[in-house]
């Protein structure tokens, strides 16, 4: 409670849910804990030496500029690199002026909230959805709705019905290797949703931090390719270079990006000048695909091992989405079984995961599901942890 000598906190602040994941992560510091709860990239793949080289080059060549204030939009060579890279990758033409550099794509979510949401504005989320998006948007007090997602994306009839019913201001989704489900939208769903969106005024927020962590070639379109006039697309260097460097970007309709930069200026003036130059230097000095291929094959093997263990040890009546990228597996137990009950038993045996209701507004769903991370635990931990969870579930039936 705030002291009665101080004013109350704002309605927006009071509306932000505190993360249950943070509470779980405190437990994960205990020794011998097997944690599938985190969402951390594996630090073995951080390019420490190459970041050091880039940092040295930046400071030696242009140290004073690298430590000075900069324009809100970002360091132009980096914006230009991102524009060219994304244009080539997606076969579209991205204007560098339409790239805004952010403090990680999480900041993009806050700025989109600031840009569009008034209290009770309707926001359509996937069910389940990324917790950080729920938190970021919550500060602007929207009226949230979930559309269930399954392997391949939401059911198109259901999506169309809910769009008509609630006519949302935003649809927020993570079409490639979603956090928490690992799900990827298929081509049919991308086009089907785009078609429905075109009949609306809804802004589509395409959050895309995981797309480079694909375990096999991925030719499915992005929304920014199919419905660019209505899509705000968020990218991130967190899973490509390093999350501690806190850099991402937004791209989308020019007027939206321009206003987002006004909102960013009011929020923190601009992103770190030094680190923008480091990431740019890293990108031009190193073949990105070699680096990414290492991560892809390691994460793919980890996912494969976790899936194999799940098939071997979990009860037969559970279901899961088989991930083809990203860092997570989402498991759903038969309806009677509660993941919070499983978690309590699991903690007693030193295994952690995140219960599914954490990914729904007001914990309004996912009570029989849970999220497991495979990027960070060791192979031994994966095998042992899944075995324990399997035994506990079988005991609960």
Site for a copy of itself in 93-152 (CB under 8 A): 103-104, 106-107, 110, 114-118, 121, 132, 135-136, 138-140
Candidates 29, 91, 120, 201; binder of a copy of itself (CB under 8 A) is 201
Phi first, then psi: what are they for 204, rounded to 5°? -100, 120
Determine the Cα–Cα distance for residues 142 and 106; give it in Å rounded to an integer.
18
Determine the Cα–Cα distance for residues 129 and 144; give it in Å rounded to an integer.
11
Distances (CA, A) of 202 to 33, 169, 170, 193, 221: 44, 5, 5, 11, 19
Among the residue ranges 195-203, 293-301, 333-341, 380-388, the one whose residues contact a copy of itself (CB under 8 A): 195-203
Candidates 83, 101, 147, 275; binder of a copy of itself (CB under 8 A) is 275
Q: Which is nearer to a copy of itself, 44 or 316 (CB)?
A: 44
276-335 residues near a copy of itself, rule: CB under 8 A: none
Residues 6+ away with beta carbon under 8 Å from 310: 318, 320, 329, 331, 386, 390
- For the CB of residue 388, give the shortest distance to a copy of itself in the complex, in Å: 26
226-265 residues near a copy of itself, rule: CB under 8 A: 229-230, 238, 241-246, 253, 255-256, 259, 262-263, 265
Among the residue ranges 173-181, 197-205, 317-325, 380-388, the one whose residues contact a copy of itself (CB under 8 A): 197-205
Q: What single DSSP character describes residue 204?
A: E
Q: Which is nearer to a copy of itself, 103 or 324 (CB)?
A: 103
Tokens matching residue 214: 């694909």
69-88 residues near a copy of itself, rule: CB under 8 A: 69-70
- For the CB of residue 19, give the shortest distance to a copy of itself in the complex, in Å: 7
Q: Which is nearer to a copy of itself, 103 or 222 (CB)?
A: 103
202-231 residues near a copy of itself, rule: CB under 8 A: 202-203, 229-230
Residue 9: Cβ within 10 Å count? 11
- Total number of residues binding a copy of itself (CB under 8 A)? 83
Determine the Cα–Cα distance for residues 199 and 201; give it in Å rounded to an integer.
7
Q: Which is nearer to a copy of itself, 10 or 317 (CB)?
A: 10
- For the CB of residue 7, give the shortest distance to a copy of itself in the complex, in Å: 5
Q: Which is nearer to a copy of itself, 56 or 164 (CB)?
A: 56
Determine the Cα–Cα distance for residues 355 and 80; give it in Å rounded to an integer.
41
Determine the Cα–Cα distance for residues 202 and 210; give it in Å rounded to an integer.
24
**Angle, to 10 degrees, between the axis of helix 104-116 and the axis of helix 254-268?**
110
| Using rule CB under 8 A, residue 43 touches a copy of itself | yes
Candidates 23, 95, 164, 268; binder of a copy of itself (CB under 8 A) is 268
- The DSSP-derived string for 253-269 is -HHHHHHHHHHHHHHHS
49-68 residues near a copy of itself, rule: CB under 8 A: 49, 51-52, 55-56, 59-60, 63-68
Q: Which is nearer to a copy of itself, 67 or 284 (CB)?
A: 67
β-strand partners of 232: 205
Determine the Cα–Cα distance for residues 310 and 385; give it in Å rounded to an integer.
10
- For the CB of residue 260, give the shortest distance to a copy of itself in the complex, in Å: 9
- For the CB of residue 164, give the shortest distance to a copy of itself in the complex, in Å: 16
x/- map, 331-360, a copy of itself, by CB under 8 A: ------------------------------
CA angle 37, 129, 338 (to 5 degrees): 55
The SS3 assignment for 281 reads helix
Q: Quick check: bond before 128 cis, omega within 30?
A: yes
Among the residue ranges 8-16, 88-96, 343-351, 383-391, the one whose residues contact a copy of itself (CB under 8 A): 8-16
Residues 6+ away with beta carbon under 8 Å from 288: 240
147-186 residues near a copy of itself, rule: CB under 8 A: 169
- For the CB of residue 262, give the shortest distance to a copy of itself in the complex, in Å: 6
């Amino acid at each position: 409670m705030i002291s009665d000598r101080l004013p109350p906190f704002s309605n927006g602040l009071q509306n932000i849910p505190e993360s249950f994941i943070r509470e779980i992560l405190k437990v994960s510091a205990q020794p011998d804990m097997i944690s599938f709860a985190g969402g951390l990239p594996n630090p073995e793949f951080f390019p420490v030496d190459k970041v050091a080289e880039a940092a040295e080059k930046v400071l030696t060549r242009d140290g004073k500029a690298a430590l000075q204030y900069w324009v809100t939009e970002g360091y132009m060579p980096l914006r230009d690199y991102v524009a060219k890279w994304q244009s080539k990758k997606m076969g579209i033409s991205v204007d560098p002026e339409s790239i805004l550099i952010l403090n990680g794509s999480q900041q993009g979510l806050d700025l989109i909230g600031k840009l569009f949401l008034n209290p009770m504005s309707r926001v359509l989320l996937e069910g389940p959805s990324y917790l950080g998006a729920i938190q970021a948007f919550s500060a602007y007090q929207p009226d949230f709705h979930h559309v269930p997602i399954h392997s391949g994306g939401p059911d198109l009839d259901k999506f169309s019905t809910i769009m008509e019913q609630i006519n949302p201001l935003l649809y927020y989704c993570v079409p490639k290797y979603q956090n928490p489900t690992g799900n990827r939208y298929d081509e049919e769903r991308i086009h089907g949703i785009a078609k429905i969106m075109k009949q609306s005024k809804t802004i589509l927020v395409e959050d895309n931090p995981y797309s480079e962590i694909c375990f096999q070639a991925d030719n499915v379109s992005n929304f920014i390719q199919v419905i660019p006039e209505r899509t705000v697309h968020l990218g991130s260097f967190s899973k490509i270079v390093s999350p501690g460097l806190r850099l991402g970007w937004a791209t989308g309709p020019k007027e939206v990006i321009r206003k987002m930069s006004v909102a960013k200026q009011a929020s923190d003036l601009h992103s770190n000048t030094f680190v923008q130059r480091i990431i740019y230097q890293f990108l031009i000095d190193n073949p990105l695909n070699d680096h990414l291929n290492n991560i892809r094959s390691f994460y793919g093997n980890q996912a494969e091992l976790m899936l194999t263990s799940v098939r071997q040890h979990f009860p037969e009546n559970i279901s899961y989405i088989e991930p083809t990228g990203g860092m997570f597996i989402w498991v759903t137990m038969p309806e009677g079984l509660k993941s919070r009950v499983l978690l309590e038993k699991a903690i007693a045996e030193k295994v952690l995961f995140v219960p599914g209701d954490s990914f729904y507004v007001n914990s309004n769903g996912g009570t029989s599901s849970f999220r497991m991370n495979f990027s960070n635990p060791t192979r031994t931990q994966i095998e042992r942890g899944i075995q324990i969870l399997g035994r506990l579930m079988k005991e609960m039936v």
